[in-house]
Structures are given as C-alpha cells and as structure tokens.
Structure 1
Amino acid sequence: MATDATRPRLDRDRRSYRYYRNAVERHWDPHEIDLAADREAIADLSEASFDGLRSTLALFGAGEEAVTEDLAPLSVVLDDVADQLFVTTQLYEEAKHADFFDRYWETVIGPEEERRGGERTSPTDDRWFGEAYDELFARNEAAMAALLDDDGPENRALAYCHYHLTIEGILAQTGYYGVQRNFSGEFEALPELPGLVEGFSKIRSDEGRHVGFGMWKLKRLLAGGEVDPSLLHETVGDLAALTRRIVGEASVEGEPGVPEAGLVEYAAEKHAQRMAQITDDAGEFPSVEELVRLEE
C-alpha cells in the first residue's frame, strides 16, 4: 500500500500521544523509594490497624497484577499508533505498580510480621480477598477478553467501563486516597509511612492518565453515536455496588483513620465526577496535566 512520505506517522496532537509523552516524562523507579523509615514506624500500628493495612496492600498488589494481565487484549485490538504507544506505557506502569507493592510487602510487612512473633504471610493468600473483590476482577477479565472475540463499540465501552472507569477510576482512587490520608501524619494515632505515601502518590499520578484515557475513549464512542449513554450508566452503576462492598470489607471498624463512610462518599463523588466528564457534551474534558495534578 502506498503511503505519503511527507505525512508524519504519529499524530502528536492526539490526546493518547500526549498521555504517552506525559508518562515518559514522569518516569519513576519503585526501587528508588526509601522504605527505611516505614520499617521503623510501622511498629507503632495496633494489631487491628496492621492487619487492615496488610489486607489493603494485598488487595492493591493483586489488583495491579491482575490488571497488568487483563490489559493485554486492548493492546491487541487498538489500531492507532498513538493509542498503542500509550497502552505500552500503561502496561509498563501497571507492572511497576505491582513491583512496588511486592517490594513493600517483602521489605516492610514481612519483617514486621516476624517482629510481632508471627510467620511471614503471602499477599496472595485467599484470606485477603472477599467475594465482591473476586467478582469485580472476574468481570473485568471477562470484559477485556471479550475484545478478542468481538471488538465492537459496545464491547469496547464495556472494557473501558470495567477497567479504566471502575477499577482504576473509582475503587483504586478511593483506596489511594484513604491510605495516603491515613499515613501522611494527619491522624495522631497512626504513624507516618513516608515510603508508602510517596509510592501511592506516584501510582495515583499514573492512574490519573490511565483513567483519562478510558474516559476519553468512552466520550468519543458517545459522541460518535456508537453506544448509548445508558450502557455506561447501567454498567458502572452495577459495578459501583461491588466497589462499595469492597470498601466496606476493607475498613477496620473503631480504628483511627478515614472512616468507612468517608471512603464511600469519596467513591461516590469519583463516580459522579467521571460520568459527568464523559457524558456532558458542554463540559470541558480535563487535560492530562489536570488529571495528573488532581490525582496527586
């Protein structure tokens, strides 16, 4: 097939290309985050709060590993080069996030378990995962895999709703918000964990781009009349019920920190905000700089 040699292969004005460049420019290494202070400070956690932190980190670690695998079908079906470039950075970043959580467990959680007289646990133990969590990620895996059988507009929309909008845009962002507030020094009864907070800050920044990409793709599907808004509302509304259950199961009643009601409220706000940005024709879609800044 003949091509125009004067025409650039990449559309550098395309939103996904700008997301790709933002990812390149904001590169970070999870092994450069200093965890020494966390190793000492975590001893000040009560048994209940320590158990709650372990559960939360296990959920994050398993989630990052799962979404790293589940994103692969999207990288296969995307046909625009700029979109493909962005998704390669997302795959890389999801793997990097999984590496951070694994390193934190090995460097901080495991030694603290031994110090408290217990045996080292694995972040992949079934004990950490409830039915709602398992169901949400099973649905996400199925929605992403469906792209390989039928890469139509509705399946694309369902994939973005499950992966980018719900798991990353609502559930993960709520968890990052809670952990960062809990261990940044805001609560006197909880120790500061600077390594954990730094890692979560960088991960949240990455996720801002990921969520923005999925939102942009959904907005384009709606603008082109390829899917009906009701599909998005029904799908995300159904999945949001699972996220509320997961947040409730991960909360430790009576312990210091952001209360369950505050986390549920934050998740609901994220849900409403994301849907408005996608479905409001008159609304201005956030730039990648705004998405990254807001998630920090």
Structure 2
Amino acid sequence: MSQSRSGGNALNVESRSYRYFRNAVERHWDPGTIDLSTDRERIEELDGATFDDLRRTLALFGAGEEAVTEDLAPLAVVLEDVEDQLYVTTQLYEEAKHADFFDRYWREVIGPAEEARGLDRSSPTDERWFFPAYHELFERNEAAMARLLETDSPENRARAYCHYHLTVEGILAQTGYYAVQTDYDGGTPGLPRLAGLVEAFARIRADEGRHVGFGMAKLTALIESGAVDADLVYGTVGDLLELTQEVAKTAAASEGGTGLGEDDLVAYAAEKHLHRMDQIETASIDPPRIAME
C-alpha cells in the first residue's frame, strides 16, 4: 500500500516522479496515427541485404519492447510512493505502445514489402532474427526484475534499475535508436528516408529518455543515501557490458548491407556506457519542469 498522507494535497506535485508522470501525459502520442504511406513506397529501394538488416533490427526492437512491458510489472508492485506508482503506469503504457508500433510496422510495411519481393510473409517473432547474446541479456533483465518479488531489498532494486533502465534502455536501446535514425533520416547515401519510422523512433526515444531518467535518479538516490554501494552499480553494469557490445555488433549492418557498421555501433554503445556511469556520479538527470495550473 502507498504511504498515507496527512493534510495538504494528496500528491507531491514537485517530486521528480510526478513531473515525469505529467511530462508523459502531456507528450502522449498514438502509434496508430503515424503516417506509413511513404515508408511503404520507399522501402522498395532497399537491396536484399539491407532489407534483411532492417527486418532483423525491427524484430529485435519489437521483441524487446514486448519483453520490457512484461518485465516492468514487479517494480510497479514494490514501489511505495504514489508518485512513483503514477509514473510507472505511464512507463508500462508507453512500453506497450512501442510494442504496438513495431507490430503495426511489420504488418503494414514489412509484410507488403516481402510480398512485393516474392518472399513469404515472415513473423517478427521468428527465431532467425535472434541470437544467444540477445536472449541472455533479456533473460537476465527479467530475472533481475522478478527478484524484487522475492526479496525487495535496496540491492535488488539497484540491480533491477541497472539491468532495465540503465543497460537495456539507457545503453542498448539508445544505440539502436541512433542507428535507425542515422540510417533512415535521408542523409545516408544509398538509403531512403523512411519518414514514418524516423518519426516513431523520435517519439519512442523521447519516452525512453523519461524511463532512463527515472531509473538513473533512483540509482543515484540509493547510492547517496548509503543504502547501496556504488561498486554494486558499476559491477552490475560492467557484467552486462560484453552482452550489450555483442548485441550491438550483431545488430549492425551486415557485410553486404548499407548503413552503420559494427565499429560504429560498438563505439556508440561504449560511449553510452561511459556517459551513463558519469551520470550516476554527477546525478545530472532531471525531469523537465511542468507548469502547474
């Protein structure tokens, strides 16, 4: 049960979590309204290898969004403050919304493009799109979040935030957004502008910025309060670094495809890792301030 309050307003509207909640409410978007008509036309310009690369990337994103939607539930159960609970409802909703967009893109853009190429319609859940490092990373994330229901300790909360918010969303997903937005914004020679995909990724990336900020702030608070040693955070993320690098490497453009390659994405993932560690030390993430009526 959330903590009771006496006197004044029921909600602490100045709290970080409440401001994240309001930011999510005010920046609502509908994945069903993204215009995909241009994407359906322009995707025909991709060569076979690059089309395969894009299909794999979208399958990885779609499966990842479905997984994190399910995995977040334990955190919603254990958080005590009502402002935290309000915020997490928006994150659950947004993760589900992201999964919905990737499913729609596969049905309305990838499927027709496959038929136009004389290919059988594929499923984004087909095992051919995935690989061991990807499976292991998300299995570890699921286990870290589920452990909260067994023992809700500061250490287990820190591990959960490290897996979910810091690594999966703050490092790996950000690397994927960078790759897709760079490849398909119209500025990469040999690749068309996929306007609907780029718009959706910009909106998803903005949502994920709130998610990462919330988790990072919680980690920083645990460290600053003395409830958790910083070494636990560095060690947990360090243990996941090899997996994140492997996923970034495998998800890069293939040898015959066009787009950012292995070196680009591995370097970007490493840069994001260092950036997140610096943010833990400086507590620099803060939500945008929402003007209250």
Query: How high is the TM-score relative to the length of structure 1?
Result: 0.94
Q: Following the alignment from structure 2 to structure 1, what is the Cα–Cα distance between the partners of residues 39 and 11?
A: 44
Q: What's 1:85 paired with?
A: 86
Q: What's 1:256 paired with?
A: 258
Q: Following the alignment from structure 1 to structure 2, what is the Cα–Cα distance between the partners of residues 75 and 286?
A: 21
Report how far residue 121 of structure 1 moved.
0.3
In the alignment of these two chains, the number of paired residues is: 285
Structure 2: give runs of 5+ residues left out of the alignment.
none
Report how far residue 136 of structure 1 moved.
0.4
Q: CA, structure 1 residues 72+284, in 2 after alignment: closer, same or farther (shift >3 Å)?
A: closer
Q: Following the alignment from structure 2 to structure 1, what is the Cα–Cα distance between the partners of residues 5 and 53?
A: 58
Report how far residue 7 of structure 1 moved.
2.3
Q: What's 1:11 paired with?
A: 12
Q: Following the alignment from structure 2 to structure 1, what is the Cα–Cα distance between the partners of residues 233 and 48?
A: 41
Q: What's 1:131 paired with?
A: 132
Q: Does 1:267 align with 2:269?
A: yes
Report how far residue 262 of structure 1 moved.
1.3
Report how far residue 88 of structure 1 moved.
0.1
- State the one-letter code of the partner of 1:133: Y
Q: For 1:1-296, list aligned pairs within 5 A.
A: 6-251=7-252, 252-278=254-280, 280=281, 283=282, 285-289=284-288
Report how far residue 243 of structure 1 moved.
0.9
Q: CA, structure 1 residues 135+284, in 2 after alignment: closer, same or farther (shift >3 Å)?
A: closer
- State the one-letter code of the partner of 1:255: G
Q: CA, structure 1 residues 260+4, in 2 after alignment: closer, same or farther (shift >3 Å)?
A: closer
Q: Following the alignment from structure 1 to structure 2, what is the Cα–Cα distance between the partners of residues 266 and 15?
A: 29
Deviations 1:88-143 (A, max 9, x none): 00000000000000000000000000100010000001111100000000000000
More deviation, 246-255/228-237:
246-255
Q: Following the alignment from structure 1 to structure 2, what is the Cα–Cα distance between the partners of residues 70 and 20?
A: 20
DSSP-derived class of the 1:289 partner: coil
Report how far residue 284 of structure 1 moved.
5.3
Q: Would you say the 8 A contact 2:20–2:288 is kept in 1? A: no
Q: Would you say the 8 A contact 2:49–2:256 is kept in 1? A: no
- State the one-letter code of the partner of 1:70: D
Deviations 1:60-85 (A, max 9, x none): 00000000000000000000000000
CA RMSD of aligned residues (A): 1.2
More deviation, 149-158/253-262:
253-262
Report how far residue 10 of structure 1 moved.
1.0
Structure 1: give runs of 5+ residues left out of the alignment.
291-296
DSSP-derived class of the 1:287 partner: coil
Deviations 1:29-87 (A, max 9, x none): 00110000000000000100000000000000000000000000000000000000000
More deviation, 133-142/255-264:
255-264
Q: Following the alignment from structure 2 to structure 1, what is the Cα–Cα distance between the partners of residues 5 and 58?
A: 51
- State the one-letter code of the partner of 1:62: A
Q: Following the alignment from structure 1 to structure 2, what is the Cα–Cα distance between the partners of residues 48 and 84?
A: 44
- State the one-letter code of the partner of 2:245: R
Report how far residue 250 of structure 1 moved.
1.4
Q: CA, structure 1 residues 159+4, in 2 after alignment: closer, same or farther (shift >3 Å)?
A: closer
Report the identity percentage: 64
More deviation, 27-36/245-254:
245-254
Deviations 1:159-183 (A, max 9, x none): 0000000000000000000000000
